[in-house]
Amino acid sequence: MKKVLFATTALIATAGMAAADVTMSGYGRFGLDYNSSNDTNLVDSDGDGVGDIATSSTNITSRLRLQFDMTTETDGGVGFNARYRAQAESRDGIAATGAFNGARFGVTYGGLAVNVGNIIGAVENAPGLYTTGTRSAGTGIDGMGYHSLAIKGGSWDAYSSGGAGSNGIEALYSMGGFTGHVSYSQRNGGTTAGTAAGEDRTGLMVTYSFSDFYVSAAGQSSSTAANDITFVAAGGDFGAFGARLAYGSTDAVDSFTLEGNMDIGAASNILVWVNSADAPASVSAAKSDGGIDGTSFGINYQYDLGGGATFVAGYVDEADDDNQFQAGVYFSF
């Protein structure tokens, strides 16, 4: 079982790197995707939240990502870094699209890191938010909508791979098993020149890890009440077995996720999760309406093919009785 890894590792552990270093990394993934909701719903092809195109229930899902990391260090041990991505993907039969994202810039010294631009976000960085050790951080090849998330019905700051991102500021500090993370962003809006006047978000995350276990808590306060978020999680490894329990609360939804995973031999892992969401305003009781109230579950299987390649298969049964299945290959470089 792989030990718990935090996204802060890449942000903080820069001490000792060679000066003026530029590295490129990334991954590719492709596979078969079945989504029963495509039989009755239009797909949102332009990301505006409104379905606008009909598509087949069975398609190819794919993504290619290239990531560029640039670092340098002063004679006094202060590190400077930047991250930039290029990504192309296709889902639900929509033509492949490619984009560069907004850059993130950082300054590090010892256990402290300060980042600006396309920040990762305090809530997004909370251990236990996503599935443990899966290639997509969700279920299947591309996450299949991330129904395993305990946070539902809200939006939080997160690093964007295909857009400008939050364009905020954040500070992270790590010492021993403790990690703390605070983030802030301000969106443009309103009609008064010289003021942002849009939504502002302040996020906070703290986590403590010990051996193969962790506990974490995160929250976000927003000028938009619907995006006020509370999140807590605990999890860890027990030899060949792992478990995670997470709770998320927003203005509209309270949600719990329970996850268990098990290594099968030296190369395989199977993960199962179940989520229960209490969303009184949702209309899921009518089913097939896109509501989130009720119970959903999923299963993810991975087999390590070696050389950075992994076979992945997954199934999700959503709270509104839609279901998805995916199988394909992920390879990193």
In a domain, 243, yes or no: yes
- Asked if residue 244 belongs to a domain, the reply is yes
**What domain range is 205 assigned to?**
8-332
CATH code for position 146? 2.40.160.10
Average pLDDT on 216-241 reads 96
Tell me, yes or no, whether 2 lies in a domain: no
In a domain, 322, yes or no: yes
pLDDT tops 90 at residue 2: no
Assign 3-class secondary structure to the chain.
CCCCCCCHHHHHCCCCCCCCEEEEEEEEEEEEEEEHHHHCCCECCCCCCCCCECCCCEEEEEEEEEEEEEEEECCCCCEEEEEEEEEEEECCCCCCEEEECCCEEEEEECCEEEEEECCCCCCCCCCCCCCCCCCCCCECCCECCCCCCCCCCCCCCCCCCCCCCCCEEEEEEEECCEEEEEEEEEEECCCCCCCCEEEEEEEEEEEEEECCEEEEEEEEEECCHHHCEEEEEEEEEECCEEEEEEEEECCCCEEEEEEEEEEECCCEEEEEEEEEEECCCCCHHHCCCCCCCEEEEEEEEEEEEECCEEEEEEEEECCCCCEEEEEEEEEEC
pTM: 0.89
**Which of 10-19, 36-45, 95-104, 170-179 bottoms out in mean pLDDT, i.e. has the lowest?**
10-19
Give pLDDT tens digits for 90-142: 987 776 678 899 999 999 999 999 999 999 999 999 999 999 999 999 999 99
Instruction: Answer whether residue 1 is part of any domain.
Output: no
Counted domains in the chain: 1
